[in-house]
Structure 1
Amino acid sequence: MANKCLELGYFSRAWKVAGIKVISKPGKGDYTRLKSYWPIGLLPLLGELVERMLVGRFQWNLMPELQATQYGFTSQRGTENVLYDLLIYIFVELNLKKIVLMVSLDIEGDFDNVW
């Protein structure tokens, strides 16, 4: 089925519709705030299976092409790897008496307000 989805370039609309369940976080005193809840999106199982198979296939074909600085969409690489590489880069540049400028963007909570 995953092969046919790729061949036709089609992913059923029914597989894209999620059921949203809201779970309250334990230990939160004020349950009138949005941050006191976890929204969980539940997708149909068939769509999840096809999606997982497609992602596995994409990763198998793309991994040799990705640069060493690619952290998203790769297994065994995450935030810790990015921070470690950033600190090493800063340390090396400062030892070479170069100026290092870093801009950080905090987007915490932004996705709660995206339509």
Structure 2
Amino acid sequence: MKKNDLTKDNIWLKEPEDHDFPAAQDYLELLFPPGEAQKMVEKLKAAPTLIKKSKDILRASKLSLLPETNIHVKENLKKVEKNKKLSPILLVRGQNELIIADGYHRLCSSYYLTEDLEVPCRLI
């Protein structure tokens, strides 16, 4: 797919996949008590999907961009090449940073496609 053809509609699914929520909960349970993590996931399930730019999500998360050679980043880039859509990213507002509850590898992949790519996400 050419960079000019990259849009949120041909890269991303409209809604997160079912398996994204348990993955988000597993990660959030490392940062919060299980009950609190579960409540966050319920809020993520109910939250509307919004659009943010990949560069802004990455900056707000204060995480490093994973290398393009990372196996999961490469897998997601191959998916896009094969016209398979990626699942939206699940985000939680932290104290002074954004927590990527699920979708860090997808976010990094989208950044390599173009840092201005619009990314569907759920944000609580």
Judge same fold: TM > 0.5, yes or no: no
Q: Which TM bucket (shorter chain)?
A: under 0.3
Which of structures 1 and 2 has the bigger CA Rg? 1
TM-score of the two chains, using structure 1 as the length reference: 0.24
